[in-house]
Structure 1
Amino acid sequence: MAIRRGVSLYSFQNETFQGKMTLEDCIRTCAEMGANGIEVIGEQTFWGWPEQSVDEAEITQWHRLIAKYDCVPVAHDFMLDYKRYKGREMPFEEQVASVRKDIDFGARLGVKYIRALVSIAPEVLVAAAPYAEEKGIKILIEVHAPLHFDHPWIIRHAEAFEKSGSGALGFLPDMGMFLHAFPPVWKEKFMRVGVPQAIADYIVKAYEDRVLSEYVILNVQQMGGTGPAIAMAETLRHNAAFEPKRMLDYMPRIHNIHGKFYEMTPDSNGSYIEPAIPYAEIVSVLKQGGYDGYICSEYEGNRWVEDAMEPDSVEQVRRQQVMLAALLGEPAPQLRAAA
Structure 2
Amino acid sequence: MSKIQRGVSLYSFQEELFLGTMSVEDCIAFGSSIGAKGIEILPEQNMPEFPNLSDADVARWQDMLDRHGAHFTCYDMFLDTKLRKDRPMSDAEQVESIVRDIKLANRLGIRNMRVLVFVRPDILAACVPYAEQYDVHLGVEVHAPWHLEHAWILRTIDEADRLNTRHLGILPDMGIFMKHYPPAFRARFERQGARPEVTQFIVDSHEAKIMAEYTIYEVAVKMGGNKAEVAMAETLRHAPYANPKRIGNYAPYFRHIQAKFYEMDEDCTDPSIAYDEVIPELVKCGWEGTLSSEYEGNRWIQDVHPVDSREQVRRQHVMFERLIDQAEAAFGAKETV
Class of the TM-score when normalised by the shorter of the 2 chains: over 0.9
1:147 match: 146
Q: Distance in 2 between matches of 1:20 and 1:59?
A: 24
Q: 1:86 to 1:71 in 2, by over 3 A?
A: same
2:331 match: none
Secondary structure (helix, strand or coil) at the match of 1:329 reads: helix
CA apart distance, 1:84: 6.0
Larger fraction in helix: 2
1:102 aligns with 2:101: yes
How big is each residue's C-alpha offset from its partner over 1:55-101, in whole Å with a ceiling of 9 and x where there is no partner? 44432221001111111210110111315653532111011001001
Q: Scaled by the length of structure 1, what TM-score is found?
A: 0.92
Please tell me the root mean square deviation across aligned C-alpha atoms, in Å.
1.5
- Assess if the C-alpha contact under 8 Å between 2:269 and 2:319 holds in 1: yes
1:317 aligns with 2:316: no
- Assess if the C-alpha contact under 8 Å between 1:10 and 1:44 holds in 2: no
Q: Distance in 2 between matches of 1:193 and 1:288?
A: 43
Candidates 256, 281, 284, aligned match of 1:285? 281
Secondary structure (helix, strand or coil) at the match of 2:7 reads: strand
Q: Distance in 2 between matches of 1:274 and 1:48?
A: 36
The runs of at least 4 consecutive aligned structure 1 residues that moved more than 6 Å come to none
2:78 match: 79
Candidates 271, 274, 287, aligned match of 1:275? 271
Q: Which amino acid aligns with 1:6?
A: G
1:194 match: 193
Q: 1:229 to 1:49 in 2, by over 3 A?
A: farther
Q: Distance in 1 between matches of 2:281 and 2:85?
A: 42
1:43 match: 44
In structure 1, stretches of 5+ residues that fail to align are: 331-339
Q: Which amino acid aligns with 1:178?
A: F
Q: Distance in 2 between matches of 1:14 and 1:87?
A: 34
Equivalences, count: 324
In structure 2, stretches of 5+ residues that fail to align are: 327-337
Q: Distance in 2 between matches of 1:245 and 1:84?
A: 40
1:227 aligns with 2:227: yes
Secondary structure (helix, strand or coil) at the match of 1:115 reads: strand
- Assess if the C-alpha contact under 8 Å between 1:8 and 1:296 holds in 2: yes
Secondary structure (helix, strand or coil) at the match of 2:113 reads: strand
- Assess if the C-alpha contact under 8 Å between 2:43 and 2:50 holds in 1: yes
Bigger shift: residues 3-12 or 76-85: 76-85
Q: 1:100 to 1:323 in 2, by over 3 A?
A: same
Q: Scaled by the length of structure 2, what TM-score is found?
A: 0.93
Secondary structure (helix, strand or coil) at the match of 2:325 reads: coil
1:119 match: 118
How big is each residue's C-alpha offset from its partner over 1:36-71, in whole Å with a ceiling of 9 and x where there is no partner? 111011122113634xx2344432221001111111
